[in-house]
């Protein structure tokens, strides 16, 4: 991460002074958050560090503007500057990913997925239904017609990756709205290897015949052949939707190309703009021209007013990702994930699928006699920030889990390399080996309580501090 100059440092200090003049506790919490991030090993796969330019872009008067609609077609007056911002964000996204169409309005990854789902429903179900009914406008339908259309929209099929296999909540998990919107089924991974079995996915698709086949993941440590997924979708007449929120940075950085790049193969692609893409918190939809007009209706179909200040920050982050330096960064993210995986494996820790070839590893902590929740908590005590995560056929379910997920994007941004990630693996194993599960009040085994050995947390924090000091976060930034 490049040094922050005096001007930028002064800008942040003065901003905090302005905030403190109104609510000093918020200014204090902001300073504390920077200190915490500087002093911990951040290994959450969905987090990163945005550049000062991206962060500063969000704190402008674009925040004050309503702009429902699309570029050049707003429901509010005075949106000419918002039009410029949104058009630039979409332009950078199209150029960066080679997409035919880009939609920068979604507020989050879940919002992007909702836009995608309803856009596909509008294109595949509503449009043909209206044509068959002899109407071009949904507002012209009789009550009986509308009830019939609602029935059609609400009874479509979705096939997505199961949560314990590495999929996301929004890929048809029943407690999530995606599992309530659709008649859904899920595909998993091979029980022996933990890898995707494309023949099994194809067989499931032939049997279920979904309208939407969802590919992509939040905790699958391998690459996906999207050309094969498109073949499966085409065979059963499904729309292929890919959620690349986690690995978008590896696509942008040309680590994933050819069959592993979802954009040339999917009808619709969704993503967040933070995580491995290193931008602001937000979402985005990419699509072929066939789906563009449906996606363009995201607001007000699903979304509220677009966050113009965040779209501006998306444009800045996407411009950064178009620089050659970002490709070098993305490759280091993948290389560092391999180093982290190798560090675990040589210390006899078990990884789901036996390794990684993307930006994350999934560590099975049951071999340490722990649940994911116990491991996550003990590591946090030692200054190592991770998140618990289900593993395939997880006996502890989605709350306690049997795994922890670790990603390399954030520490790679700080400049960590092979040797540091090997040491990170050593520290994590050391913590887990010295953590004992607790007991419940009834004396039985607990899935939540734990006991970390005396002095372990301080020892790990000291070792971490040596690495972190060599790779400071936002170097040159001094807050008064």
Residue 93's contacts (CB-CB under 8 Å, 6 or more residues apart) are: 99, 102, 104, 284, 286, 314, 318
pLDDT of res. 86? 97
Tokens matching residue 226: 């999207």
Place of tokens 């309530």: 180
Predicted confidence band of residue 366 (pLDDT cuts 50, 70, 90): very high
CA distance 178 to 66: 28
- Tens digit of each residue's pLDDT (9 = 90 or more) over 225-274: 999 999 999 999 999 999 999 999 999 999 999 999 999 999 999 999 99
pLDDT of res. 178? 81
Tokens matching residue 64: 């004050």
**Mean pLDDT value across residues 170-186:** 85
pLDDT of res. 468? 97
pLDDT of res. 443? 82
Beta strands of 223-334 (E only): which ranges? 239-243, 268-272, 283-287
- The candidate with the shortest Cα–Cα distance to 105, out of 279, 322, 300, 290, is 300
Q: Give the burial string for 387-420 (b: 16+ CB within 10 Å, else e).
A: bbbbbbebebeeebbbbbbbbbbbbbbbebeeeb
Q: Residue 165, Cα to own-chain centre: how many angstroms?
A: 16
pLDDT of res. 135? 72
CA distance 227 to 225: 5
Contact 259, 271 (CB under 8 A): no
pLDDT of res. 416? 97
Q: CATH 3.90.1150.10 occupies which residues in the chain?
A: 328-470
Contact 434, 406 (CB under 8 A): no
**Mean pLDDT value across residues 165-169:** 86
Place of tokens 């003065």: 14
CA distance 453 to 456: 6
- Tens digit of each residue's pLDDT (9 = 90 or more) over 369-427: 999 999 999 999 999 999 999 999 999 998 999 999 999 999 999 999 999 999 999 99
**Mean pLDDT value across residues 49-66:** 95
Tokens matching residue 11: 């800008």
DSSP class of 124: I
pLDDT of res. 130? 87
Place of tokens 């795994």: 403
Residue 91's contacts (CB-CB under 8 Å, 6 or more residues apart) are: 102
pLDDT of res. 35? 94
- 300 preceded by cis ω (within 30°)? yes
- Tens digit of each residue's pLDDT (9 = 90 or more) over 101-138: 999 999 999 999 999 999 999 999 988 988 888 776 78
Contact 268, 196 (CB under 8 A): no
pLDDT of res. 90? 98
pLDDT of res. 141? 83
Indicate the CATH number of 328-470 among 3.90.1150.10, 3.30.930.10, 3.40.50.150, 3.40.50.300.
Answer: 3.90.1150.10
Residue 191's contacts (CB-CB under 8 Å, 6 or more residues apart) are: 392, 393
- Tally of residues, the chain: 480
CA distance 301 to 293: 12
Q: CATH 3.40.640.10 occupies which residues in the chain?
A: 62-321
Residue 438's contacts (CB-CB under 8 Å, 6 or more residues apart) are: 374, 446, 448, 449, 450, 451
The catalytic site residues sit at 66, 68, 243, 272, 275, 281
Predicted confidence band of residue 343 (pLDDT cuts 50, 70, 90): very high
Tokens matching residue 281: 């918190």
Q: Residue 323, Cα to own-chain centre: how many angstroms?
A: 22
| Residue 63 reports pLDDT greater than 90 | yes
Query: Among residues of the chain, what percentage have pLDDT more than 90?
Result: 82
What does residue 116 show for φ and ψ, rounded to 5 degrees?
-65, -50
The pTM assigned to this predicted structure is: 0.94
CATH assignment, 62-321: 3.40.640.10
**Mean pLDDT value across residues 461-468:** 96
| Residue 187 reports pLDDT greater than 80 | yes
Contact 213, 229 (CB under 8 A): yes
CA distance 413 to 1: 6
The residue with greater pLDDT, 332 or 180, is 332
Mean predicted lDDT score pLDDT of the chain: 94
CA distance 16 to 480: 9
Tokens matching residue 279: 């931008």
């Amino acid at each position: 991460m490049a040094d922050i100059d005096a001007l930028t440092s002064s800008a942040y200090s003065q901003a905090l002074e302005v905030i403190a003049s109104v609510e000093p506790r918020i200014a204090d919490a902001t300073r504390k958050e920077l200190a915490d991030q500087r002093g911990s090993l951040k290994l959450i796969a969905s987090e990163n560090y945005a550049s000062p330019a991206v962060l500063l872009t969000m704190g402008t008067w674009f925040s004050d503007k309503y702009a429902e609609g699309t570029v050049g077609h707003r429901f509010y007056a005075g949106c000419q500057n918002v039009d410029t911002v949104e058009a630039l964000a979409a332009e950078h996204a199209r150029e960066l990913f080679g997409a035919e169409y880009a939609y920068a309005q979604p507020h989050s990854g879940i919002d992007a997925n909702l836009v995608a789902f309803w856009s596909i429903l509008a294109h595949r179900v509503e449009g043909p239904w209206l044509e068959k009914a002899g109407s071009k406008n949904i507002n012209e339908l009789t009550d009986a017609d509308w009830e019939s259309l609602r029935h059609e929209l609400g009874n479509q099929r979705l096939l997505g990756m199961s949560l314990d296999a590495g999929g996301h909540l929004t890929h048809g998990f029943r407690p999530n709205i995606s599992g309530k919107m659709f008649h859904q089924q899920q595909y998993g991974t091979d029980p022996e290897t933990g890898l995707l079995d494309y023949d099994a996915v194809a067989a499931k698709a032939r049997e279920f015949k979904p309208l939407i086949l969802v590919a992509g993941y939040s905790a699958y440590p391998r690459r996906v052949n999207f050309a094969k997924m498109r073949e499966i979708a085409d065979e059963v007449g499904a729309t292929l939707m890919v959620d690349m929120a986690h690995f978008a940075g590896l696509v942008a950085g040309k680590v994933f190309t050819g069959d592993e790049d979802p954009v040339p193969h999917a009808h619709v692609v969704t993503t967040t703009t933070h995580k491995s893409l290193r931008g602001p918190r937000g979402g985005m939809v990419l699509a072929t021209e066939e789906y563009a007009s449906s996606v363009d209706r995201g607001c007000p179909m699903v979304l509220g007013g677009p966050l113009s200040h965040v779209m501006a920050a998306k444009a800045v982050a996407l411009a950064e990702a178009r620089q050659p330096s970002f490709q070098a960064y993305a490759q280091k993210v993948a290389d560092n994930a391999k180093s982290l995986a190798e560090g675990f494996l040589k210390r006899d820790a078990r990884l789901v699928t036996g390794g990684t070839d993307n930006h994350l590893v999934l560590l099975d902590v049951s071999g340490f006699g722990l649940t994911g929740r116990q491991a996550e908590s003990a590591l946090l005590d030692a200054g190592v920030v991770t998140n618990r995560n289900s593993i395939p056929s997880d006996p502890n379910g989605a709350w306690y889990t049997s795994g922890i997920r670790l990603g390399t994007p954030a520490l790679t941004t700080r400049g960590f390399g092979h040797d540091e990630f090997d040491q990170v693996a050593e520290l994590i194993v050391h913590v887990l080996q010295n953590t004992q599960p607790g007991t419940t009040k009834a004396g039985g085994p607990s899935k939540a309580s734990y006991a970390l050995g005396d002095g372990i947390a301080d020892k790990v924090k000291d070792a971490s501090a040596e690495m972190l000091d060599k790779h400071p976060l936002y170097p040159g930034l001094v807050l008064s």
